[in-house]
Amino acid sequence: MSDLSFVRTEMLPEKEPPASTVGAIGWARENLFSGWFNSILTVVSLTVIYYVLSTLLTWAISPTWSATSLGECRDILAEVGREGHYAGACWGVIRDRWIQLLFGFYPSELYWRPILAFILLGVALAPVLFSDKVTPKLLWFSAVFPFLFPWLLWGGTIWAPLAVIAGFVIGWFVYKAVDASAGSLAGIIAAVVAAVVWWMFLSGYVVNGVPNPDDPNAVGGLNALLPIGIEAVESRNFGGFMLSITIGVVAIACSLPLGIVLALGRQSDLLIVKALCVGFIEFIRGVPLITLLFVASTLLNIFMPPGTNFDIILRVIIMATLFASAYMAEVIRGGLAALPKGQYEGADSLGLNYWQAQRLIIMPQALKISIPGIVSTFIGLFKDTTLVSIIGLLDPLGLSNSIRADAAWNGIVWEIYGFIALMFFVFCFAMSRYSMYLERKLHTGHR
Distance CA 306, CA 303 (A): 9
Distance CA 91, CA 62 (A): 8
pTM above 0.95, yes or no: no
Q: In this predicted structure, what is the pLDDT of residue 447?
A: 44
DSSP letter string over 186-206? Answer: HHHHHHHHHHHHIIIIIHHHH
- Continuous segment of H or E residues that includes residue 330: helix 312-338
Distance CA 243, CA 249 (A): 10
**Spatial contact of 77 and 64, defined as CB atoms under 8 Å apart:** yes
Boundaries of CATH 1.10.3720.10 in the chain? 241-447
Residue (of 113, 111, 58, 48) closest to 87 by Cα position: 58
- pLDDT, tens digit (0-9, with 9 covering 90-100), for 52-74: 999 889 888 888 898 989 889 98
Residue 272 has pLDDT above 60, yes or no: yes
**Spatial contact of 325 and 277, defined as CB atoms under 8 Å apart:** no
Residue 444 has pLDDT above 60, yes or no: no
Distance CA 64, CA 264 (A): 56
Q: In this predicted structure, what is the pLDDT of residue 217?
A: 59
Q: In this predicted structure, what is the pLDDT of residue 305?
A: 63
Burial status of residue 46 (CB atoms within 10 A of its CB: 0-12, 13-18, 19 or more): exposed
- pLDDT, tens digit (0-9, with 9 covering 90-100), for 291-344: 989 888 887 777 666 666 778 898 899 999 999 999 999 999 999 988 888 888
Q: What mean pLDDT is reported for the chain?
A: 87
Q: Buried (b) or exposed (e) across 258-288, using 16+ Cβ within 10 A? A: bbbebbbbbeeeeeebeeebeebbeebeeee
**Spatial contact of 357 and 347, defined as CB atoms under 8 Å apart:** yes
Bigger pLDDT: 395 vs 9: 395
What's the gap between Cα 126 and its chain centre?
Answer: 15
Residue (of 262, 260, 288, 297) closest to 276 by Cα position: 262
Q: Buried (b) or exposed (e) across 79-107, using 16+ Cβ within 10 A? A: eeebeeeebbbbbbbbebbeebbbbbbbe
Distance CA 131, CA 117 (A): 21
The CATH homologous superfamily for domain 241-447 is MetI-like (1.10.3720.10)
Helix ranges restricted to H, 130-268? 139-154, 159-182, 184-197, 203-208, 221-225, 240-266
77 Cβ contact partners less than 8 Å away, ≥ 6 residues apart: 62, 63, 64, 83, 87, 88
* Tally of helices (H runs) and strands (E runs) in the chain: 20, 2
Q: In this predicted structure, what is the pLDDT of residue 204?
A: 81
Among the ranges given (100-104, 154-158, 353-357, 429-433), the one the predictor scored with the smallest mean pLDDT: 353-357
Q: Using the 8-state DSSP alphabet, how is residue 137 labeled?
A: G
- Continuous segment of H or E residues that includes residue 156: strand 156-157
25 Cβ contact partners less than 8 Å away, ≥ 6 residues apart: 19
HEC readout, 355-389? HHHHHHHHHHHHHHHCHHHHHHHHHHHHHHHHHHH
